[in-house]
Structure 1
Amino acid sequence: MLQTISFAKDDKPAIKGTILSVNQEPVAFANVMVEGTYKGAFTEEDGSFIIYDLPDGEYTVIISALGYKRITQKVTIKDGVAQNLNIAFEEEVTEIPQITVFANRDRMFTKVPGSAGYVSREELTKIKPISGNEALRRVAGVHVVDEEGLGMRVNIGIRGLDPDRSRSVLVMEDGVPVALAPYGEPEMYYSPAIDRMSGIEVLKGSGQILYGPQTIGGVINYLTANPPQEEEIKVRMQGGQGGFFSGLLSYGNTFGNSGIQVDYLRKQADEVGPTEFQINDFNVKFKQELTERSTLGLKLGVYNEVSNSTYIGLTQSMYDMGGMDFLRIAPDDQLDVKRFSGSATHEYKINDRVKLKTLAYAYTTTRNWRRQDFASTPPANPTGVVYGDTNIPGGAIYMRNSTGNRNRQFEVVGVEPRLEVQHDLFGFSNELQTGVRYLYEKAYEQRVNGTKFNVSSGNLVEDEVRTGNALSAYVQNKFNLSERFMVSAGVRVENFNYERDIFRRSFPGIGVRDTILVNNSSLTEVIPGLGFTYKVFDKTTVFGGVHRGFAPPRTKDAITSLGDALDLEAEKSWNYELGFRADVTSGVYAEITGFYMNFSNQVIPVSESSGGLGTGLVNGGATVHQGLEAALAVDFSKIFSWKKTSLIYDINASYVEATYSEDRFIDAGEDAPVNISGNFTPYAPQVFLSSALSVETLSGFGLRLTGTYVGDQFTDELNTVTPSANGQIGELPAYFTLDATASYFVEKWNTAFNVSVKNLTDERYISTRRPQGIRVGLPRFITAGFEIKF
């Protein structure tokens, strides 16, 4: 709720009025600002507003709202008489039809049946993120684990769910899923670059049942910019230590009924932490208004990344010794990610109350990864390179003269028509959304073992194809039972058919052989959801809901490498939440949400990326996730009616208890197996928060301080405290980081300059023990840059 700001009411009205649409419907939460001051207001639900305490003079009033054209109006105040403004908004003609998590005009969450968050363009500008992880931490309940420090492999956990490769979260860009294969392999080896985003939507409540396949943790939707009303050329550059550079060149314009937005991003670094990378990211969006009722949107994207990403981390002795935090243990490891994507959206207004939106998309992702082999004991094929303490069993890393090349290619095609209807069933105002979604996915996977430490060719030891066909249908209706009470009820049906074809693999005691192993399976699930909002007072809303959590098993986990169908269960839960959001008083906003997630079966990752042996996922049994999320924003400039300075403080805090809730016994090498019932699930800190203090002045100066705290967390099911010698198991101590950004806007140049410092106090901390060893958080990191608009 970072975008919510309340304005102070002084003694004397100066400007008042009503904001309506061209259809004479009230526009709630439009932003009315007096240029050159910090005076302003949000419109009430009836479209009315009042701005207080302005001396006589001429003013320019700027009125804006999501989905509408911006309006500039001249106003003269004379002899203290309040001026009346009655404005009719026109809809934004350059809005590209696309699937979003929230309605464009409801990002104040007045009718969202559950907890939600929205990171705005303004917030992204203030924090100057070098990775999307920084932005996502600004939403309560979202825990993000840094792997290489730049967010290229994003690991997102919501409400205590395991963050490994963001498997329990549905991640989209402009309504299109971005995972390798959304059903069969939902890992986030590709992550949308935060540098070109205009906002992020996060939905955690019952409303997420419209999306899929993941409806357990939440939905994250990255938003890109739409074509502007008038020609705009933007150049943004940011550079810093270790050869870090991020450069974005954008062009947008509207020509009659056509609009275009083109973005090219170049991002690179020679040595940020242990990482070297180059990214080229090109995107174009095109909008064409075909008729008064029909609009078409097209989007194309090309992404190419080359990085020295590796799975190998530090052993515990290497970390304790110091001085090796960012040692490149496997300098020849290389990950190549290539992605080509295209989507088309069409919106047809059947009449003023009925819309048909159709989304079609296709993308391919190639993920080839050369990784040097290593061992924790002296191997038969050593290179002679050894790291760590050889006197401690498991405390050293022996580099081998061979590689394991994991080459994968994914194809995804989907189509989704969605009907949106406003109707008056049972005499109430209703909003209906219903649609179907078909998704086809195919994964080609090979493993090539190289006989040298730095080669990408060699012996083909694994070769297979995995195919999936998914069909889902959903319906959700919002019943506006009164002006204050809204109930949302919905259901989605998921059907997923999947097949695994294995052409070559290694058989125990036999070796590598060509084969024909084929098996398939399917699952069907009904996923209901119910939510409500009730406006207790004009600016206080209570909300709540319950929905079924669902995630299908990965294809290669449900069907073994021997072609046996395990009928691995889907990940299922019942998720409940209850909360309220309120403008407590002028300039103070608060939100509190309690949640309870009861898993009948949570799938626990033991894959290589989660520090395991590469054997996939297992049924982890019953778990319970419960806790509180809280957000508070205080705008001191509105409380004290400051005219030339804005001072805002906010905090988003989460308390989570994620535990195994039934008896489950693990062999821990003791005389008897250990019952882990009551233990915390891995990588689920009980406390984590993000807090920020922002200062802006009319002279153009701005300062932002952002603090992040992550509490203690365990890394295995046994809740082991003492670190293992290889660094992969052991408690992660709590840590706190502080970021600072100073900016200055030069109006005559239309240019903003900034200096940003990440980890200002140079805190040394372990960010993760995954994939295979300790990763140290980035030390103090300084960048500087500018953004100019023509």
Structure 2
Amino acid sequence: MKRFYPLFILLLLIQITGTFAIDKKSKDNFLSVQGLVLDVEGSPVSYANVFVKNTVKGTLSNAEGVFQIFDLEEGNYELQISAVGYKTISTAVSLKKGEFIDLGSLMMEIGVEMPEFSIIANKDRIFSQVPGAVNYLDRKEIQSLKPLSGNEVFRRVSGLNVVDEEGLGMRVNIGIRGLNPDRSRSVLMLEDGVPVALAPYGEPEMYYSPAIDRMAGIEILKGSGQILYGPQTIGGVINYITPNAPENEEGSISLQGGQGGFFSGLINYGNTLGSTGFQVNLLRKSAENVGPTQFGITDFNSKVLFKLNDRSELGAKIGIYDEESNSTYIGLNQVMYDQGGQDFERLAPDDRLNVSRYSLSLSHLYRFQPNIKLRTIAYGYTTTRNWNRQDFSINSTNTPPSNWTGVLWGDESIPGGAIFMRDGTGQRNRQFEVLGIEPRLELDHELFGAVSELKAGIRLLAENAKEQRVNGTKAGVKSGDLIEDELRTGRAFSAYFQNETKVSDALTLHGGLRLESFNYKRNIYRRNFSGIGVRDTTLVAENSVQEIIPGVGFTFKPSPVITVFGGIHKGFAPPRTKDAITSTGDALDLEAERSWNYELGLRTELAHWLYLESTAFLLDFSNQIIPVAESAGGLGFGVVNAGATRHQGLENSIIVDFAKVFGLEKWALDYDVQVTYVDAYFSEDRFKGDININGNKTPYAPEWIINSTLSVKNEKGWSGKLTYNYVGDQFGDETNQILPSVNGRIGQIPSYFTFDAVLGYELMEKNLSFNVAVKNLTDQRYISTRRPQGIRVGLPRFITAGMNFNF
């Protein structure tokens, strides 16, 4: 706790400063320009971005479309106004000393946009109508971090516990509000509204993670609005947003290089020709030695938009992804970590993971009337995940196996302290196919005498998974004997509606219902049975799960700058199809995960320089399932039924614009902090061995997580950002064992903190910028995780440099 006392002191100073600074606005800040942003029908465009080019000045229009810009010096300026779904407009302003200009009404034309699903309304990017905790990170914020991976971006969001595995976020592990972060199983992951997990129902693991480099934004929803999506409604929804076709020809080239041969290169190009727009990007990312990791990624994506007529648009999107890395499951044991000097050794240098993904989606929007829209999205994708991993042996007597290669890690003098590398491999090859279609009706109505918006739709989805395990008799080989062979299939139907009713100018009610129906089957053709050996078989297990998921919420605005929100919804996640048969061949009738989720929060802009958000939450599980997959440090099969658990806590965010506080004319100076407190524990009697774990903390659920940034920029083009991240103590297992096991997989994970820094310089007139970024500035050594099979040490100090050119 002492490590972040300075943050609490700073928060106190901010509040004290605010007491005096609210009245200071009229004395030290002078209003230079104001205006009103309207659409062609005369309705206000809320929360449009208003930017004064070649300066650090900018703002958002308010809920009524009004914007104000303070402290501009005498001179000629160009204001650029943009909003999602509208064409960008510019207007010239000539300002004399001490003069105030009212631009009056500025009209924005509706732009052509991909008819995709987003989880936040385009006109509500500061969430005045969202009945729950929600976050939106735009491209500017993403790029300012110069992230190695999406993990750095997700840490900017309160309530999220992001666990590094290989330091590069290729397999993202996110836990929301104390939920298990392993492979992000408890989070619904989308890209432009389309699922991206291996199999959204049966195996929602994130072995493929969309590259953050190519994203235009990230949406995170944790409230009752989740029922519009599914199948998972437990932790939250994360939606990656890719860039749409630009109105005019534009492109960019981004290059970043660093230690260990790290390279990232991204090329973007797009244009709109007549009624057709397109956007294309190609990413190449690679490294020889980032920590222990060697990898190469090629990622191609393209979007095309056809405006068919005034009523209809059609969009198409394709993606091709190819990855090869030396990702491995084996990590350090506790002996190696304590001895030091081996943090980034490649214990199994021949391990290889190949991931390839091909995706296609079509989206269509048809406007029957201005108030009636039908939005349809159809998609299909295949993911191949082939992982070749060398076998190894650990035993309490440190007895070498018969096929020992002679390579030993650890210490033979300590019982169980040696890792013996074996002359054999296990190739775990999986191929997934997903096909889905979802039409959604959007209706603005006044059926009950109040302004309302109805969203209703259905979804049909089919998923197949083919898995084979091939055991090789030499390390590094890619062939061998077929040990396991199986096919898993799933067929799902969903139907849902959500109605938003504006009861008054201040109060909006939200209510909805979702139906999930999932039928799945597991066919095992070949398997290694305990005490019998490898046999061909015809084992079949099938089951079906149906669930009705209600949700209600509200937003209440007692004033234009205060929003109170809350909601209750049912949490649901279907069981994994892979767990439908035990290792001995017995069929399991698995239960789904179920919970009731509650939250109550407040969003407010107390002053034009201060924004606050605070949310209290409770997740009450009647049945939470914790997978005992190898990636969770288990045996590689089955599940642990955790029974009843409870997750409760607070999420707090504060954003301060110090440039407005102190009347800085040529500087932007922003500070923000996100503080998360989570108390997640088992809430009923349950025994693991002789230990009753009732009241114990759930694994990988730190009580405290803090992320904070200080950003500075001046009109000469210099910028800087300092980011602080703190993660509190957490446990590696249900028994809350503090002392670490010799193999390193169980034991308390001590708290740690890191600092990241970015220094940038922009040549505005040449559309060229340069940057230097330092990750883990103070070179902290810490355990990031004890999963999958041993300790992973956090990335040491890592330096990159890069440039970006827009054309």
Scaled to the shorter chain, the TM-score interval is: over 0.9
SS at match of 2:622: strand
Determine the C-alpha separation between the residues in 2 that align with 1:314 and 1:82.
65
Match of 2:744 in 1: 727
Deviation at 1:598, TM superposition (A): 0.3
SS at match of 2:117: coil
Match of 1:457 in 2: 479
Match of 1:228 in 2: 246
Determine the C-alpha separation between the residues in 2 that align with 1:404 and 1:238.
35
Amino acid at match of 1:709: Y
Deviation at 1:261, TM superposition (A): 0.7
Q: Where in structure 2 are the equivalents of 1:628-647 lying within 5 Å?
A: 628-647=650-669
Determine the C-alpha separation between the residues in 1 that align with 2:358 and 2:118.
21
Deviations 1:387-429 (A, max 9, x none): 0011212211100111111011000000000011100021111
2:316 pairs with 281, 294, 298, which one? Answer: 298
Deviations 1:737-765 (A, max 9, x none): 00000000012321110000000000000
Determine the C-alpha separation between the residues in 1 that align with 2:55 and 2:633.
54
Q: Unpaired segments of 5 or more residues in structure 1?
A: 1-5, 668-672
Deviations 1:268-315 (A, max 9, x none): 000000100011111111111011110011000110001011000001
Q: Does 1:73 align with 2:91?
A: yes
Determine the C-alpha separation between the residues in 2 that align with 1:737 and 1:452.
41
CA contact (8 A) 1:154 1:166 kept: yes
Match of 1:765 in 2: 782
Q: Where in structure 2 are the equivalents of 1:50-65 lying within 5 Å?
A: 50-52=68-70, 54=72, 57-65=75-83
CA contact (8 A) 1:276 1:307 kept: yes
Amino acid at match of 2:317: K
Match of 2:699 in 1: 682
Match of 2:720 in 1: 703
SS at match of 2:779: coil
Deviation at 1:96, TM superposition (A): 0.9
Deviation at 1:66, TM superposition (A): 2.1
Q: Does 1:626 align with 2:648?
A: yes
Match of 2:404 in 1: 382
Deviation at 1:36, TM superposition (A): 4.1
Deviation at 1:322, TM superposition (A): 0.6
Deviation at 1:13, TM superposition (A): 4.3
Determine the C-alpha separation between the residues in 2 that align with 1:344 and 1:617.
36
CA contact (8 A) 2:386 2:430 kept: yes
Q: Unpaired segments of 5 or more residues in structure 2?
A: 1-20
Match of 1:691 in 2: 708
Determine the C-alpha separation between the residues in 1 that align with 2:382 and 2:534.
29
Amino acid at match of 1:82: I
Determine the C-alpha separation between the residues in 2 that align with 1:184 and 1:322.
40
Determine the C-alpha separation between the residues in 2 that align with 1:70 and 1:353.
24
Q: Comparing 633-642 with 563-572, which one deviates more in the overlay?
A: 563-572
Determine the C-alpha separation between the residues in 2 that align with 1:731 and 1:633.
33
1:273 pairs with 270, 291, 296, which one? Answer: 291
Match of 1:749 in 2: 766
Amino acid at match of 2:196: V
Deviations 1:301-332 (A, max 9, x none): 11000101100000101011111000000000
Q: Where in structure 2 are the equivalents of 1:520-531 lying within 5 Å?
A: 520-531=542-553
Q: Does 1:238 align with 2:256?
A: yes
Deviation at 1:77, TM superposition (A): 4.1
Runs of at least 4 residues of structure 1 off by over 6 A?
A: none
Deviation at 1:67, TM superposition (A): 1.8
Determine the C-alpha separation between the residues in 2 that align with 1:638 and 1:498.
57
CA contact (8 A) 2:542 2:580 kept: no
Amino acid at match of 2:355: V
SS at match of 1:320: helix
SS at match of 1:130: coil
CA contact (8 A) 2:252 2:805 kept: yes
Q: Comparing 213-222 with 41-50, which one deviates more in the overlay?
A: 41-50
Amino acid at match of 1:75: V
Deviation at 1:568, TM superposition (A): 1.1
Q: Does 1:395 align with 2:414?
A: no
CA contact (8 A) 2:529 2:583 kept: no
Match of 1:146 in 2: 164
Deviation at 1:523, TM superposition (A): 0.8
Deviation at 1:563, TM superposition (A): 5.5
Match of 1:653 in 2: 675
Q: Comparing 739-748 with 506-515, which one deviates more in the overlay?
A: 506-515
TM-score in terms of structure 2 length: 0.95
Amino acid at match of 1:695: V
Aligned residues: 779
Deviation at 1:578, TM superposition (A): 0.3
**Percent of aligned pairs sharing the same letter:** 60
Match of 1:86 in 2: 105
Match of 1:168 in 2: 186
2:130 pairs with 106, 112, 115, which one? Answer: 112
CA contact (8 A) 2:601 2:613 kept: yes
Match of 1:3 in 2: none
Amino acid at match of 1:276: Q
Q: Per the alignment, do residues 656 and 320 of structure 1 end up closer, same or farther by CA in structure 2, a change over 3 Å counting?
A: same
CA contact (8 A) 2:583 2:637 kept: no
1:592 pairs with 592, 605, 614, which one? Answer: 614
Q: Does 1:355 align with 2:373?
A: yes
Amino acid at match of 2:338: D
Q: Comparing 72-81 with 406-415, which one deviates more in the overlay?
A: 72-81
Deviation at 1:28, TM superposition (A): 1.4
Determine the C-alpha separation between the residues in 2 that align with 1:741 and 1:76.
34
Deviation at 1:166, TM superposition (A): 0.6
Deviation at 1:38, TM superposition (A): 4.2
Determine the C-alpha separation between the residues in 2 that align with 1:315 and 1:472.
45
Q: Does 1:262 align with 2:280?
A: yes
Q: Does 1:313 align with 2:311?
A: no
Match of 1:137 in 2: 155
Deviation at 1:61, TM superposition (A): 2.0
Deviation at 1:97, TM superposition (A): 1.0
Deviation at 1:89, TM superposition (A): 0.9
Deviation at 1:233, TM superposition (A): 2.1
1:442 pairs with 464, 478, 491, which one? Answer: 464
SS at match of 1:143: strand
TM-score in terms of structure 1 length: 0.97
SS at match of 2:448: helix
Determine the C-alpha separation between the residues in 2 that align with 1:342 and 1:55.
51
Deviation at 1:12, TM superposition (A): 5.2
Deviation at 1:57, TM superposition (A): 4.5
CA contact (8 A) 1:517 1:562 kept: no
Deviation at 1:121, TM superposition (A): 0.6
Q: Does 1:713 align with 2:740?
A: no
1:578 pairs with 591, 600, 604, which one? Answer: 600
Determine the C-alpha separation between the residues in 2 that align with 1:259 and 1:521.
45
Q: Does 1:97 align with 2:119?
A: no
Match of 1:565 in 2: 587
SS at match of 2:578: helix
Determine the C-alpha separation between the residues in 2 that align with 1:373 and 1:11.
67
Deviation at 1:562, TM superposition (A): 5.6
Q: Comparing 320-329 with 514-523, which one deviates more in the overlay?
A: 514-523
CA contact (8 A) 2:37 2:45 kept: yes
Match of 2:445 in 1: 423
Deviation at 1:82, TM superposition (A): 3.2
Deviation at 1:54, TM superposition (A): 4.5
Match of 1:670 in 2: none
CA contact (8 A) 1:161 1:684 kept: yes
CA contact (8 A) 1:500 1:563 kept: no
SS at match of 1:104: coil
Q: Per the alignment, do residues 56 and 271 of structure 1 end up closer, same or farther by CA in structure 2, a change over 3 Å counting?
A: closer
Deviations 1:168-210 (A, max 9, x none): 0011111111111111111111100111111110000000111
